Amino acid sequence: MRFLKKFYTLIIFFFLYAPIIVLMIFSFNNSKSRAKWGGFTLKWYAELFKDNEILSSLYYTIIIAVISSLVATVIGTIAAIGIHNMSKIKKTVVMNLTYLPVINPDIVTGISLMILFIFIKLNLGFITLLFAHITFNIPYVILSVMPKLKQLDKHVYEAALDLGATPLFAFRKVVLPEIMPGVVTGALLAFTLSLDDFVISFFTTGSGVSNLSITIYSMARRGINPKINALSTIMFITVLLLLIIVNKRTSRKENA
């Protein structure tokens, strides 16, 4: 039984990792073929950093992810507090509408936003891409913050006022720190969703502005390109390092 479990785990992990590892190995392959080994090289990496298309989409991906997650975190956190204090009926209506972009297929969200932008004669490009990302990020922030607000003793805010804090001070020094874990989770979630998004971005951008996903898509459609392998390797290593750092940090906090 133990052996069976180990064997099964091994197979599943092989299935999950084999494609990625092959991809990474071939990023160092001197031959353009994916099947034959032509010796070790770093030339694809060098070319990657000379490729303006990839560099510009990397730039847009990060800029969009940073701005959209920040804006979404601010709007979403404030909105969550407002919604939390709404009457039950209003709350139900607003929360159901908030869930819409989460459960709606990305493609529907994408085309609906595209229709809107074209309808109001907004040129598809950076601004529309940013608006789209903020739109699908806000619900995730709200959904991360709401549970923390529910846990929060509703009298905590009043207690701060009672001790002489103005509403703004009470929010900053008492409410915000208490819901901070939810806010951080929401912001991280928004940031990674934005980094990773393809479908919605695909429909809502234009005029030369594209993010990494879109660039990879168009490159992959044109066939295999070793530069993508190099890019994958860098991205996977980066993600892995970030994850390890985050995990170390949280586990240390739990032990403290």
166 forms part of the interface with another protein (CB under 8 A):
yes
Alpha-carbon span 29 to 32, nearest angstrom: 7
Are the beta carbons of 193 and 109 closer than 8 angstroms?
no
Residues comprising the chain, all counted:
256
Alpha-carbon span 117 to 184, nearest angstrom: 30
Backbone dihedral angles phi then psi of residue 142, each to the nearest 5 degrees: -60, -45
Total of residues contacting another protein (CB under 8 A): 101
Closest distance to another protein from the beta carbon of 229 (Å): 8
122 forms part of the interface with another protein (CB under 8 A):
no
Can you tell me which of 158, 207, 208, 245 binds another protein, judged by CB under 8 A?
Answer: 158
Can you tell me which of 51, 63, 131, 206 binds another protein, judged by CB under 8 A?
Answer: 131
Can you tell me which of 92, 96, 207, 247 binds another protein, judged by CB under 8 A?
Answer: 247
Closest distance to another protein from the beta carbon of 50 (Å): 20
Site map 32..51 versus another protein, x via CB under 8 A: -xxxx---------------
241 forms part of the interface with another protein (CB under 8 A):
no
In three-state form (DSSP H/G/I as H, E/B as E, the rest C), the secondary structure along 74-122 is HHHHHHHHHHHCCCHHHHHHHHHHHHHHHHCCHHHHHHHHHHHHHHCCC
Restricting to residues 181-220, which ones interact with another protein according to CB under 8 A? Answer: 185, 188-189, 192, 195-196, 198-199, 203, 212-213, 216-217, 220
Number of C-alpha atoms within 13 angstroms, CB side, residue 90?
7
Can you tell me which of 76, 124, 148, 205 binds another protein, judged by CB under 8 A?
Answer: 76
Closest distance to another protein from the beta carbon of 9 (Å): 6
Q: Residue 249 CB: number of other CB atoms within 10 A?
A: 10
245 forms part of the interface with another protein (CB under 8 A):
no
Alpha-carbon span 28 to 42, nearest angstrom: 6
